[in-house]
Amino acid sequence: MNIRPISDDDADAIQPLWQEFELEVPEPEGFAKDSWEDAWGTFRQQLGFLAEDDEGIAGYAFARPPVHGRAHLSEIYVRPRARRTGLAKALLRQLVEGLDAEWLSLEVLTSNTNALAVWQHFGFVEIERLLIARLADLRLEDGEGGPSYGAIFLQSDDEAPIRRALGRFVPRLPDAQLSGPRNGWLELTDGRLDEDPTLLLRLAQELSAATGSVVISLGVERGAVVRYALFEAGRSVDEYLSVPEFYGPLPPGDAIALAANPTVVARLTGADPARVRAVARTAASPAELPPADDLYRQLTDVLGIASA
């Protein structure tokens, strides 16, 4: 393997590798894509090295000159055939030797887990994160956003055990209203539950445990997303949030767990699984779904819990 400094004559040789890199690690949505001419014009102002093997060009690396002691690794790419041979480390070593710097920084996509592992192995540590959002999805309203509201639906026509359980619940809810039954469900509402979605969930679970019945909490949060939680004898058996990562990134398993389970819903409520699947969809942003108020009403209809 031969590693040498890059010259102006190497543009045609490097361009195919640069295009391979762009296809393999595309810019995230919302970021401008450079043309090759723009990229090459930037590269020629930097320190660069090219690696060649018996089959031709195998990789390259570029770094910006240091400013206040910190240089920046702008791009490094090794073709698949030359990976796991130590070439990336060799290119990095050449850059380090050619840079009069104390520090070397780089940027890597959080989704590129393989690259993250490599850089951390070399000794790089994370010091900041770059965040991006669509302007249409920004939540910049005063306070906590739009209104939150919700109700608890209990699969019962007997109010007595529910009122007993409410009497033991902390905080006290003296203004709680029970209505129904309608379609076999009692509906519980209270202003405190509208103000605090976590309280809505907690009370629903406690009522399910106290009565042994099927209980659903259903609410709109911040005027933007809809959540339901389904409990059976106090156990949480299904939870749905229309935008799983509305409050921040989640591990993939946690995000999947916030999608509705039509089979469970059908078993406990008698709802049509196909309708549950069609209505209780998830998305990356509220803009991709019906307005939260409409989605709330659609879910009461699908679940058979007529809401007052």
Give, for all 308 residues of the chain, the pLDDT tens digit.
899 999 999 999 999 999 999 888 877 777 778 899 999 999 999 999 999 998 999 999 999 999 999 999 999 999 999 998 999 999 999 999 999 899 999 998 887 888 888 899 999 998 887 888 777 766 665 545 678 999 999 998 888 889 888 888 878 888 888 888 888 999 999 998 988 889 999 999 999 999 999 999 999 999 999 999 999 999 999 999 999 999 888 888 888 999 999 999 999 999 999 999 999 999 999 989 999 999 999 999 999 987 55
List the domain boundaries for the chain.
Answer: 2-122, 149-303
From residue 228, alpha-carbon distances to 162, 182, 253, 264 in Å are: 20, 19, 18, 13
Helix crossing, 113-122 with 87-98: angle to 10°? 50
From residue 238, alpha-carbon distances to 114, 166, 229, 285, 297 in Å are: 33, 23, 6, 21, 19
Kind of pairing between the strands at 70-78 and 103-106:
parallel
Q: Choose among 20, 79, 18: nearest CA to 48.
A: 18
- CA–CA separation, 285 and 2 (whole Å): 49
Q: Which CATH class is domain 2-122?
A: alpha beta
Whole-prediction pTM: 0.55
